[in-house]
Each structure stands twice: as C-alpha cells, then as structure tokens.
Chain A
C-alpha cells in the first residue's frame, strides 16, 4: 500500500489556486451533517432495542431508554429454540438466533462464490474472446438487472419442488446467485476491460491456452474486483426476505426470517424485535467496516493502473 500512497495525489502540494476557505468549510459542514443523518438510524436502532414496547410506540421514542432493558437480548437468545420435542440432536439444530445467523452466513458465502465464478467466466468469454454475438449476449445479461425478483417466486417454487431442492440451502443460493449475476458481470466487465489485452497475447505466445490464460493471468489480476463484486452480491442476499421465508423451513431460516418471527400476529413486543434487528445488523456493519478498507484500497490500485 505504501506504493499507492506515494503516487496518490495530494492537492496541497500542487494546487495553484487554493480552494476558497469558506467553500471548504461549507463542504465540511455538509459532510458532517450528512454523516449525522446517516448515523442517526444506528443510534435509533440501538436504543430501540433496549426499550419496552410502551416506550417505543409513544412514551419515549427518540431519547435514551429510561430503563436499559438488556433482558431483550437475553430473551432473543433463548427464543426459537425447541427443547424436548423434537429432542436436540446436534449443535445449532435446535433453531434460534445462532442457527439462523449461521444459515445467513452460509447462504451469503456460497452465493458470493457461485456468483463470482459464473460472472468471471462469463465476463471472460464476453470481453476477452472475440465472437459474433458477444455484445448481444452482454446486453441480454445486463437486462437481467432490471427484472424484479418477485416475478420469479412462484415459477421457481414449482420447479424447485419438482427438483426436490425446496427446503435446502440451494433453494436460496441459486436464485440469489442468479439475481446478482447481471450486476456482477457488469462490475466485472469494467474491471476486466482495464486489464491490457497484450497480457493475453503474450500468455498465448508463452503457450497458455484459453483456460490457462483465464486461471493464471486474468483471475489473479481480478482480485481487487472480487471485493467490490462480493459486497454488491452480499447486499442483494443478506436482507432478502420473501424467498427466504417461502422456500426455507425452520432449519434453513435466515436472519430476516428469524427477526420477522419475533413479531406477533396481533401483538408485538417491539423491544424484542429491536434486539433481534441489532443482532442481525451490527455483525454485518462490523464486517463491512473491515471490508471497506480493503475495497477502498482495491479502488486505489485500480486507479494507479488505469
């Protein structure tokens, strides 16, 4: 990273006309205001998870909890777990928050892997191999971005039940991967176009076949793109609710389904729902904060190369 830092542009050193101080201050104020607007939901979510329904629905909506109800969290962890019937057979088999968290992570991870592989290969065939119709196919893939997921629910339900993969992780992973594919191909195309074509040619001269070039030249160079694509795919599937609730059974419920199950049909304990939402949201935020450094760095690398 030292390299990119040395090269990256520092306006202080070069700028001839300095930005007007007033404008600079205004920019900072704007940035900070927007920052507060974006941080507020996190504050709201966190305090909401420590209140009683009474406070949440009226008596104390925005303020700090009058009484810090950490018990909301304790209850979330005990809920959804079956004791006795059926007997607990294995770790996490008894449902609950941990199980649905693991489900969410597993589904997201496999979706990302499958989608990345499919997108990398397809993008390679479209951008690096010359053939008639590659552009048309690319446009068709791009149109996939526009298709609303709800359209597919019922037809997919029928085919999956015929294939016998309903109520399995695959019944979520396959649609998620398919619906993220177009976006992944698009991001991937951008990055792959930045890799000089000469590299392919020299690899060809060195005796690498198409597959060799793909695995030895392209894939390693695409590493910075993977983080970006990964985040976008992750976003598509992490909060998804409709497929997760219809296709999964209790053993495969993901976090959004678990959290929505904290609601009652007539009466809802919102503090409990808040605690569930915090436990579903904050781990992801932490992961994002760690990942975001890497993503931003991968952008810098791309900038240097371009």
Chain B
C-alpha cells in the first residue's frame, strides 16, 4: 500500500458511512443533549435554560419515568434469560440437521415480519377477558378464579407480563436465525471428531458449539437488551393513548412528550435512553472480553 495515499484512501472508504452516521445519528444526539437543558415550552421555542432540572423533574412522580425505566429493565432481563435461551435451543435443534429444517427456520422467523398492529390485536384477543383463549383455557382447567375479572391486560399486577410475553415471543425467531447462522458456521469436522470420540449431542453443544458461537451470542445479548430498552411498536399497540398503563416504557414517554410541548423533558428521556443503551453495550462487550482472557489462560 502506498503510504502517502493511505489516509486519503481510508477517508474515502469511510466517507459514505460517516456522512450517514454523523448526519443522521450523531447530530440528533447532540441536539437532544442541548435541548434537554432547556425548557422547550413549544417545539420551536427553546424557552428558559434550566440546566439539569429536566432530568431531576423526570424522576418526579408526575412523569412516571422511574417506573418506565424499571419496566424496560425487566423486559431486558426477560429477553436475556427467556428469549435468548429459547432462541438458542431452537437454533441448536435445527442446526443439528433435522428433516424439514428449512421449513421450520422460515416459519420461526415469520413473526418478525408481521407488523406490530397484527401481533398486538391478536394478543389482545388472546387475553380478552370475555372470550379470549386464556379465559377459555382456564375455564377448561377449572382455574378461572386465578384470572382477574378485568383481564390480564387490565390488572396492573399482570399487565406488565402480559404485554412482555408477545414482545419477547415475536423476536425469538430473529435471534434464532442469528445463532443458527453461527452454528452452521461451526466446522463440521469439529462436530464429527467429537462425536467419533463418543460425545453426546448435549456435550457437543456445550463444549464445541456454544463456545464457538460466543461472539454471536454476545451480539444477540446486546441486541436483546438495547432492543428492550428502546422497544416501542408493539407496546404502543397495547398502550393505545398510553395513559392507563402499568407497562409504560421510556420510548412511549419520549414520543408522548416530544409532541406534547415538553421538548426538554422528551430530550432528557432520549439522552437517558441513549446513555443506558451505550452503557449496556459497553458492559456486555467488556464482560465477554474478560471471559476470553480467562479462557486463554
């Protein structure tokens, strides 16, 4: 490589990505940080400089933001500990090579393709306290008393879980596909050798496949957590006007205040969301790096 031209070449290669990235992602973040320090009584009017008052106000009772953050963290935890193991399990079963593998793979992915409106409406029907599948199922098992009369979505105690189940279910196929790709990337020789040595499927999975696809699992975890923290579409379908809900999440509040004349508050929510997402991404990267080091020892 000609040394003289190198910086220019690098720059040219990076140019399209940098233009998109800085123009569409970085600039709004800077704008959000700036806006979050002002009052913004209307969209176009910055109003008074209020410093960090918006951040302090956010955790006041009126905005329910603390609750929203906790809900998002619960969703993230459910994603990591329920959604991803499910996806991994499916990917392992399919990756082993079974009859109709491709058919399963395609079908498992379809929920990702269906719009949130359909998924939301369907699950609303499933939870419907009058004729929903849940009520009918409970009646068949004679355990109707367990269910709240206002329906799983109407009861503040159960609503959070009721909304998160479809949210998690919809993206199982997504993570499965990622992991499946990784599993198919594991050299067949390795698997073959292990099996000739008498390893069971479980052992192959545990000692060969999972360690090999660790980078992909890391990516999946990052996607799952950041996806949970910024989840919006499906929850919005359930929440409708987003007032009566025990399942408020930060993005719902962000959109609501952004267009309800509280630009400063909305920007503060945005900044906190970005910091949380960044934080988690860095944390997970760091955790996986540490493990690698120990592994090498």
Task: Check if A41 sits within 8 Å of B122, measured CB to CB.
Answer: yes
Contact of B25 among A14, A147, A292 (CB under 8 A): A147
Contact, CB under 8 Å: B222 / A145: yes
Q: Which of A222-268 contact B (CB under 8 A)?
A: 228, 235, 238-239, 241-242, 256, 259-260
A64 on the B face (CB < 8 A)? no
Considering only CB atoms, which chain A residue lies closest to B174 in the complex?
A: A235
Interchain Cβ contacts within 8 Å, total number: 247
Contact B14 A151 (CB under 8 A): no
Apart from the given pairs A186-B219, A260-B117, A296-B105, 5 other A-B contacts in the complex at a CB distance below 8 Å: A31-B94, A148-B274, A181-B21, A238-B113, A292-B106
Q: Is B109 an interface residue (CB 8 A)?
A: yes
Chain A interface helix/strand/loop/mixed: helix
Per-position binary interface string of chain B over residues 257-297, scored 1 when its CB falls under 8 Å from any chain A CB and 0 otherwise: 01000010000001001100110110001000000000000
Q: How far is the CB of B252 from chain A (nearest CB, A)?
A: 10
A306 to B212 Cα, complex, angstroms: 12
Contact B115 A146 (CB under 8 A): no
Contact with B along A140-168 (1 / 0, CB 8 A): 01111111111111111001000000000
Which B residue's beta carbon lies closest to that of A146?
B277
In-complex Cβ contact of A11 among B6, B24, B97, B273 (8 A): B97
Are B28 and A15 in contact, with the CB atoms below 8 A? Answer: no
List the one stretch of B144-152, B155-163, B180-188 in contact with chain A: B180-188
Interface positions of B from 221 to 260, Cβ below 8 Å from A: 222-223, 226, 229-230, 232-233, 251, 254-255, 258
- Contact bitstring B129-167, A, C-beta under 8 A = 1, else 0: 011010000000000000000000000000000000000
A147 touches B188 (CB 8 A): no
B56 at interface (Cβ–Cβ under 8 A)? no
Chain B residues with CB below 8 A from A44, complex form? 118, 122, 125
- Spot the interface stretch: A69-77, A78-86, A87-95, A279-287: A279-287
Instruction: State whether A131 and B181 are in contact (beta carbons under 8 Å apart), knowing that A151-B28, A185-B17 are contacts in the complex.
Output: no
Which A residues contact B (CB, under 8 angstroms)?
7-11, 14-17, 19, 27-28, 30-31, 34-35, 37-42, 44-45, 48, 58, 61-62, 114, 117-119, 121-122, 124-126, 129, 131, 137, 139, 141-156, 159, 174-175, 177-179, 181-182, 185-186, 190, 204, 209-211, 214, 228, 235, 238-239, 241-242, 256, 259-260, 273, 277, 280-281, 284-285, 288-289, 292-293, 296, 299-300, 302-303, 306
The 10 A-B residue pairs with the shortest CB-CB distance in the complex, in nearest-first order: A146-B277, A178-B24, A122-B17, A125-B13, A148-B230, A9-B188, A152-B28, A118-B16, A178-B20, A155-B28
A292→B1 contact, CB < 8 A: no
Q: B50: CB under 8 A from chain A?
A: no
Question: In the bound complex, how far is the Cα of B94 from the Cα of A137, in angstroms?
Answer: 36
Q: Is B43 at the interface (CB under 8 A from chain A)?
A: yes
Interface string of B99-129 (1 = CB under 8 A from A): 0001011111111111111110110010010
User: In the complex, which of the residues A34, A146, A299 contacts B108, with contact meaning CB atoms closer than 8 Å?
Assistant: A34
Complex alpha-carbon distance, A131 and B227, angstroms = 32
Q: Chain A's nearest CB lies how many Å from the CB of B233?
A: 8
B1 touches A34 (CB 8 A): no
Inter-chain contact B97/A9, CB cutoff 8 Å: yes
8 pairs, A vs B, C-beta closer than 8 Å: A38-B111, A125-B9, A126-B14, A155-B27, A174-B20, A209-B2, A277-B118, A303-B188
The answer to whether B14 touches A153 (Cβ under 8 A) is no
The docked-state distance in angstroms from the alpha carbon of A239 to that of B170 is: 14
